[in-house]
Chain A
């Protein structure tokens, strides 16, 4: 087990190296570069060349990559280099380091993503147990079909009508944007009689969290349903019922713990889904998070920002996957990592 984890951790930098080099080459291969985007109408070839040289955009792609990766350890490079966590300075937003630009936006997206994850599992698991309990009645196919319908609604299709209804027509939710900084981004304070402060979720969050979670809820609910249906036929459930335990206790004490493993396996997928959803949701609702920022960066060819985001997302994804794999062994001790499957 320890050997397996060490092998996986050793593999991590290799994947990151390939991912960053691939992204680096694709970005550099395309027409246009951040200098020409930033220059706009002003196009003095001599000046553009000088800026390119200043920003390390001259020389072969390997030299450029070397400077990006190793910073001042590489001839002609500057700064700490990405290998030491210094992703350089933004090409488009002059004077800002990539790290500070990303940190602020990452915090916003992390809060949003965390809330969406809570909603996905907080509603998906109970709905899954419910449909399994009522399997064979109309409730089961009705709930599952409704969830599948929500999954089939592309974000791009539902956001304009939602904005129109809730922001324009009924005027009960803000038309997008982000409430405040840090923790205030999630909670809004509601004063009762001007004395008692009650924290309520910021109304800016309702639409994005709803849109981000609808896809995942269906997936989790269907998975929990299938596992719970299997568990419900087990002898220990029949014994528990025979002893007169309430249905709620059966669900909580027997069905839920035994349906957990497959649910844990999809946390990674849910995270990816939320992240992918964040690209559109943040762009459409004007939330200054990492999803919107990465789209802007790709469109303006802000090389260093694109690379930093790709590397950070890839790292987070690989580590999350590893943690999830390790957690299987705690939830189900029968799982042995790194051994050949012999069925």
Chain B
């Protein structure tokens, strides 16, 4: 950005009330072109996933065996896969899977469990800190991927059973068919491993903030632990939460590929980027019909790259505070 533009921004901010911290953060971010491009790409892919149900030209499981492995054409913009399913529609529904998984893991693991434990651990100290820290040690020491495969392989049949039971005994239907049990297992297992990182970051920050005068003042006035945590500590670590979430989103989206590739993630015919890449993954297939790998790869790499660029810029913006 040119100096003139920066000057303009500052001039805009001066009159009236001083800008709040979130607005300031947003202004710093908006000046970084790379961050905005990254954010735009993420939003486009997420929007594509959210609206897939209404905008996809075909269903993700509509087959036409007479038109398998075709390249791009007028009625199939990105070609078809081995079973003659429309690649564009598969990509859009895969984006939906990514949206569901990333948001759920972040909300359960990254944004709730991790920070809550981190705040509690840092503020209370003593045995609470000890227990939470040591449990974190255990999860960090476990080799992630084999454990995820093991957990998924062990739990998936039981989750499917439970979901089937739920279907029979309630008005819900089509859950098993739509792959809901496999979503549940994948994010359940991922959440187990994604809380430790954010817990540690938030704890370290909390250790510093709890020594500040405003916390002492609140304590002196008889504030309870939960009041101090929610009203005084949480607002001071919220930037870190956003930062952690943006990093974790990319990591979770990437994990789906690997889990599905090893056969424990999203189960066919439910679409996901991992499933599409798995189907196209051998060298022979790549040689014969490269679009099978290139199409999903393009979207996955764009998404992960966009997350990385945005996260990097966000990191700079948060630290510059």
Interface, chain A (partner B; CB < 8 A): 11, 14-15, 18-19, 22-23, 26-27, 29-31, 141, 144-145, 148-149, 151-154, 156-157, 160-161, 163-164, 167-168, 175, 222, 275-276, 279-280, 294-295, 297-299, 306, 309-310, 313-314, 317-318, 340-343
Contact = CB atoms under 8 A, between A and B. Distances in A.
B3 interface: no
Interface centre among A149, A157, A222, A310, by most B CB within 10 Å? A157
Given A30-B154, A168-B287, A15 B137 contact: yes
Q: Which 7 A-B pairs have the closest CB atoms?
A: A30-B154, A152-B304, A152-B305, A343-B208, A314-B141, A148-B308, A157-B297
A242 B144 CA distance: 51
26 contacts: A15-B137, A15-B138, A29-B154, A29-B155, A30-B155, A148-B305, A148-B308, A149-B308, A154-B254, A154-B257, A156-B277, A157-B297, A157-B300, A161-B290, A164-B286, A275-B143, A276-B145, A279-B145, A294-B146, A295-B145, A299-B262, A299-B263, A310-B143, A310-B146, A314-B142, A318-B141
Contacts of A149: 301, 305, 308
Contacts, number: 141
A298 B281 CA distance: 21
Interface residues of B, number: 52
B230 to A, nearest CB: 22
B146 A309 contact: yes
Contacts of B300: 154, 157
A160 B293 contact: yes
Contact of B150 (A27, A163, A222, A275): A27
B144 A276 contact: yes
A261 B257 CA distance: 34
A23 B149 CA distance: 12
A153 B207 contact: no
A157 B297 CA distance: 6
Contacts of B274: 156
A30 B150 contact: yes
B47 interface: no
A280 B146 contact: no
Given A145-B309, A161-B286, A299-B263, 20 more contacts: A15-B138, A19-B138, A27-B154, A30-B153, A30-B154, A30-B157, A148-B308, A151-B308, A156-B274, A157-B297, A160-B281, A164-B286, A168-B283, A275-B143, A279-B146, A310-B146, A314-B142, A317-B141, A342-B211, A343-B207
